[in-house]
Amino acid sequence: MRMAFADDIEDLREQVSEWRSDGESIALVATMGNLHEGHLSLVAEAKKQAFRVVVSIFVNPLQFGADEDLAAYPRTLLADLEQLEEARVDLVFMPTDEMIYPRGAESSTQVQVPEVLTEQLCGLHRPGHFVGVATVVSKLFNLVQPQVALFGQKDYQQLLVIRRLCDDLNYPVEVVSVPTQRESDGLAMSSRNGYLSSDERARAPLLYQQLTRLAMTLLKCEVDRETALQQTVDALNEAGLRVE
Ligand code: PAF
Separation CA 71–CA 59 (nearest Å): 10
Give the pLDDT mean for 140-168.
98
The pLDDT of residue 169 is 98
Task: Determine whether the shortest distance from the Cβ of 31 to ligand 1 is under 6 A.
Answer: yes
**What's the gap in Å between 133 CA and the centre of ligand 1?**
6
CB of 83 closer than 6 A to ligand 1? no
CA distance linking residue 174 with residue 152, whole number of Å:
14
> Average pLDDT, stretch 202-206?
96
Would residue 54 be called left, alpha or beta, if left means φ above 0 and alpha means ψ between -120 and 50 degrees?
A: beta
> What's the average model confidence in pLDDT over 64-92?
98
Index of the ligand 1 atom closest to the CA of residue 32: 3
| pLDDT for the residue 10 | 97
Query: Closest residue (by CA) to atom 7 of ligand 1?
Result: 30
Calculate mean pLDDT across residues 63-77: 97
129-144 and 9-21 are packed helices; what angle lies between their axes, rounded to 10 degrees? 50
| CA pair distance 23, 50, nearest whole angstrom | 11
Question: For residue 1, what pLDDT is reported?
Answer: 74
Rounded average pLDDT over 6-11:
95
Other CB atoms within a 10 A radius of the CB of residue 44 amount to 15
Domains and CATH numbers, the chain: 4-178 (3.40.50.620), 196-238 (no CATH)
Residue of minimum CA distance from atom 2 in ligand 1: 31
Whether 149 shows a pLDDT value over 90: the answer reads yes
For 29-51, write each residue's pLDDT tens digit.
999 999 999 999 999 999 999 99
pLDDT per residue over 90-106, tens digit each?
999 999 999 999 999 99
pLDDT band at 186 (very low <50, low <70, confident <90, very high): very high
Nearest CA to ligand 1 atom 1: 31
What 3-state class would DSSP assign to 36?
coil
Residue 104 Cα, ligand 1 centroid: separation in angstroms?
19
